[in-house]
């Protein structure tokens, strides 16, 4: 019998397979994106001397021991969102300040109009950042709920969904000016006015 050499396996395409894997992972890997709560600081100029009615201010204080005081009363963090919701959507104003789209109780002792309602957060120097963020998150959440409700009533879709599809490159509404106007409208109806006072 003649000595037969073992047939050589063609390994030339192994490189292609490796490249395929490499490219697949390159494409599918997404580096984690940071996310957080956006906020805007007031410019460093002395604020104009405008009289704000006390009933239009919703004071939230966080003490150095991380206790929550809402309108000078102790409150549990769980009730904060609801309290803020009621305050912002109250719409107790008359005449010029009348709110036509509010669904609140229209209590004359509470805020006039969502565009006038100010949520004021004060904290001590010793307050934990974590508790501040929890409070801030709840307040921002109240605005989101109201914006969603308003958008559902007016445009039959939630505000969160509208914003998402405005930013989504795949959706038909991507950067459409029509949707932008709608988003702007919701934002002007319920502007997020959360003021942060300097700690005492």
Partner 1 sequence: MSKFKKKGGNELPAISTASLPDIVFMLLFFFMVATVMRDNSLKIKNNLPAASEVEKLDKKNLVMFIYAGSPSEAYASAGTEAKIQLNDKFADVKDIASFIASERATKREEEIPQLTTALKVDKETNMGLVSDIEQELRKVNALKINYTTKKGSDMR
Binding site for partner 1 (CB under 8 A): 8, 11-12, 14-15, 17-19, 21-22, 31, 33-44, 62, 77-78, 123-130, 132-134, 136-137, 140-141, 144, 196, 198-199
From the CB of 191, what's the least distance to partner 1, in Å? 15
Alpha carbon distance 34, 27 (integer Å): 20
From the CB of 38, what's the least distance to partner 1, in Å? 5
Tokens 């494409």 sit on residue: 27
Nearer to partner 1, 52 or 133 (CB): 133
Nearer to partner 1, 106 or 122 (CB): 122
From the CB of 16, what's the least distance to partner 1, in Å? 9
Alpha carbon distance 62, 122 (integer Å): 6
Alpha carbon distance 114, 117 (integer Å): 5
Nearer to partner 1, 38 or 100 (CB): 38
| Coil/strand/helix, residue 60 | strand
Nearer to partner 1, 1 or 41 (CB): 41
From the CB of 25, what's the least distance to partner 1, in Å? 9
Q: Alpha carbon of 119 to those of 26, 80, 138, 152: distances in Å?
A: 46, 12, 12, 24
C-alpha closest to that of 152 among 182, 175, 172: 182
């Amino acid at each position: 019998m003649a000595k037969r050499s073992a047939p050589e396996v063609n390994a030339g395409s192994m490189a292609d397979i490796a490249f395929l894997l490499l490219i697949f992972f390159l494409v599918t890997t997404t580096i984690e994106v940071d996310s957080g709560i956006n906020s805007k600081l007031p410019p460093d100029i002395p604020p104009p001397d405008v009289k704000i009615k006390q009933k239009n201010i919703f004071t939230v204080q966080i003490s150095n021991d991380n206790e929550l005081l809402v309108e000078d009363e102790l409150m549990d963090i769980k009730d904060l969102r609801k309290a803020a919701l009621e305050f912002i959507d109250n719409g107790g104003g008359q005449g010029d300040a009348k709110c036509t789209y509010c669904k609140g109780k229209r209590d004359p002792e509470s805020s006039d109009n969502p565009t006038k309602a100010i949520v004021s957060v004060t904290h001590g120097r010793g307050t934990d950042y974590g508790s501040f963020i929890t409070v801030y998150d709840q307040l921002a959440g109240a605005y989101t709920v109201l914006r969603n409700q308003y958008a559902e009533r007016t445009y039959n879709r939630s505000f969160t969904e509208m914003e998402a599809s405005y930013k989504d490159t795949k959706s038909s509404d991507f950067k459409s000016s029509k949707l932008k106007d709608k988003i702007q409208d919701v934002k002007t109806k319920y502007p997020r006015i959360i003021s942060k006072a300097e700690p005492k």
